[in-house]
Amino acid sequence: MLRLEVQQIDNENLRINLYSVDSVSPPLKEFRSVKLYQLEALTDELLLQIPQAYLTRGRSVDLLEKLKLKGQAVFQTLFGETGVQLRRLANPEAPERLVIAVDEAVAHLPFDILYTGDIFLWQGFIISRQIATEQGISQHRARVIPGRKLTLIGDPSADPALDASVRDELFTLSEELASEFDLQGPLMGKSVTRQTLEEVLTDCSLLHFSGHYQNNENGSSGWLLDKNEIFTGDKLGHFRQLPHFIFSNTCGSKSTFQSNSFIHNFLDAGISAFLTTNGDIPSIQATWFGIFFYRSLLKGYSYGQAVHRARSSLIDRFGISDLSWMFYILYGDADARPVLRQTRRRFSSRKLMKFSIPLVTVLLTGIIIFTLHRRFQAGEFFLNTNPGGAVILLNNEPVGVTPGSVRAGRGDVIQVILSGWDTSRFQVRKPENDWFLQSMDAVDGVVTERQIMELPGVYGHNPAIALIPEEMHMLKFDLQGLPGPELMIQGCPLKFSGEQILLAVDTNLYRYILRSGDKVYDKALAIETDSLLTAAEITANWSEGRYH
């Protein structure tokens, strides 16, 4: 395990130590002349401007390249010889544990997403943070609660703007994880009071909070409740028991980067690890991160490994140019694991002998029934891709290559992955009597070499899947507010309708024609990057009335 210590000495100097906890070798010590206020513009771009642009534009290769550029600038400014060693030690194939110990002056720096010149720092290490604050160490450490009890808390501030996305996230998590955890909730809205939170914190093993984080002028910060009340966690030192782990999926200005006392309150009280976010995340990506994360815990991975795997799975699912993976920060002990063992009744040897024969019979019968149930509750699919040779993944585990068959049950996720091509994702469905694959990608069509191809949303037992080259750009039309919009491309008979249309396009020049009611708009566009076109932009800037 590596330990990186970054501490401010004065306004212009940092002390940096890098050493292996498991080695007797002397640490690498470095003093860097860094004026932190001069880094503020760069860190604002990393923590505010790029995330905001991602929320507006979605997946973008340009934003990814900008993130690399700014992340590398901060990496090179902070680290001299330490940076050389970090670059040498980073290993995406077998990432080593890296504990980053910081003081409050540098705790806001986005270490996870700094770019070494080859990879982002999180890709080469299993990262967690420790914060040295001016608060003293509490003499009281609560007992952590073992078990599988996972409680979901959603938007106690009852913000209408947040309600829909939080409900999507938590109800989907609830559906996906209900059979694997002892689930409580989701507990939503104004019903979640301070008292409710305190009761939940003393009664669950893992807590998932999704809502607002807020800093007030008086210096208090924490989870936002109804009527602008803030849960700061300052009373946790009085609690006899607390969760083993907390996932705080919060939105707010720089989120918890601006106040480390909130996180410190939880860690100092005895919680093993605290996972948080540094900005708003689209609900679909936030939901999938949660599913990947909790399923990794169930497989026995540590909190640090689960975060690393969930980030990697987001990239597999949405592509690295979808920057949703950049928002997560783990504090505390990354090596810790939830204590998922469940309590079992103990039988005396006499009772065990008495019931051994019928017990074995029941177990064998159950296994046979379960096996038959799985056999007949699964669908068989033969996957063809263009081009072929794509790896087939079932629930993130490789099971073959295309063309090839896969057997999957209701709700399973199938992916096909090929280098140089976007990953295609499908979920297995069986609403009534037949099995089918529901596309999880939002792409409606592909425009390439002046040809247009519609991508189906549903595939049968023998899907022919057209993969999309990575170099193509995403062109999204947000046509909300326009009556009956229909989109066409000049020279192509195919039409797309609906308020949201997503096309994968090459860089050739095409004339796009949009019909809405009795009005027709048109414009010739060559798309050089992932782009979003809104109804307001189209009606204001496109030509009108030139086509019928």
Retrieve residue 530's tokens: 């992932």
- Note whether 194 and 263 are same-domain residues: yes
Ranked by mean pLDDT, which of 215-224, 232-241, 250-259, 451-460 comes out on top? 451-460
- CATH classification of the domain holding 523: 2.60.40.10
Lowest mean pLDDT among 26-30, 90-94, 309-313: 26-30
Retrieve residue 331's tokens: 């504090």
- Note whether 56 and 160 are same-domain residues: no
pTM for the full predicted model: 0.61
- Note whether 208 and 94 are same-domain residues: no
Question: Domain for residue 43, yes or no?
Answer: yes
- Note whether 156 and 294 are same-domain residues: yes
Distance CA 413, CA 433 (A): 19
Average pLDDT over residues 176-199: 87
Q: How confident is the model at residue 361 (pLDDT cuts 50, 70, 90)?
A: low
The whole-number pLDDT of residue 311 equals 95
Buried b (16+ CB within 10 A) or exposed e, 93-112: eebebbbbebbbbbbbbbbb
Residue type, 272: S
From residue 466, give the alpha-carbon distance in Å to each of 144, 248, 383, 444.
50, 38, 11, 12
Higher pLDDT, 362 or 92: 92
Mean pLDDT of the chain: 83
The whole-number pLDDT of residue 364 equals 54
- Note whether 63 and 189 are same-domain residues: no
Distance CA 498, CA 134 (A): 55
- Note whether 255 and 151 are same-domain residues: yes
Average pLDDT over residues 294-316: 93
Find the domain containing 113 and state its range. Answer: 2-132
- Note whether 29 and 70 are same-domain residues: yes
Q: pLDDT tens digits for 194-224?
A: 889 888 888 888 999 998 888 766 667 888 8
Q: pLDDT tens digits for 82-107?
A: 899 999 999 999 999 999 988 888 88
- CATH classification of the domain holding 260: 3.40.50
The total domain count for the chain is: 3
Closest CA to 103 of 132, 81, 144: 132
Ranked by mean pLDDT, which of 73-77, 253-257, 346-350, 459-463 comes out on top? 73-77
CA 399, 405, 407, 409 torsion-angle sign: positive
- Note whether 151 and 294 are same-domain residues: yes
- Note whether 153 and 127 are same-domain residues: no
- Which region, left, alpha or beta, applies to residue 398 given φ > 0 means left and ψ of -120 to 50 means alpha? beta
Is 253 a residue whose pLDDT tops 60?
Answer: no
Q: How confident is the model at residue 9 (pLDDT cuts 50, 70, 90)?
A: confident
- Note whether 76 and 107 are same-domain residues: yes
Distance CA 266, CA 141 (A): 10
Question: Domain for residue 381, yes or no?
Answer: no
Is 371 a residue whose pLDDT tops 50?
Answer: no
Q: Burial of 217 by CB count in 10 Å (0-12 exposed, 13-18 middle, 19+ buried)?
A: exposed
Question: Domain for residue 80, yes or no?
Answer: yes
The whole-number pLDDT of residue 351 equals 36
Question: Domain for residue 542, yes or no?
Answer: yes
- Note whether 75 and 155 are same-domain residues: no
- Note whether 209 and 294 are same-domain residues: yes
From residue 110, give the alpha-carbon distance in Å to each of 3, 47, 225, 330, 395.
17, 7, 27, 12, 31
Distance CA 14, CA 244 (A): 34
Question: Domain for residue 27, yes or no?
Answer: yes
Question: Domain for residue 436, yes or no?
Answer: no
Lowest mean pLDDT among 187-196, 250-259, 521-530: 250-259
Answer for the pair 35, 12: CB distance below 8 angstroms, yes or no. yes
CB atoms within 10 A of CB 11: 10
Is 532 a residue whose pLDDT tops 50?
Answer: yes
The whole-number pLDDT of residue 536 equals 93
Question: Domain for residue 7, yes or no?
Answer: yes
Question: Domain for residue 312, yes or no?
Answer: no
Q: pLDDT tens digits for 106-157?
A: 888 899 999 999 999 999 999 999 887 555 444 445 666 677 889 999 989 8
The whole-number pLDDT of residue 454 equals 86
From residue 14, give the alpha-carbon distance in Å to each of 6, 71, 188.
7, 19, 44
Strand bridging mode 424-429 / 206-215: unpaired
Of 132, 160, 180, the last residue of a domain is: 132
Strand bridging mode 2-10 / 96-103: parallel
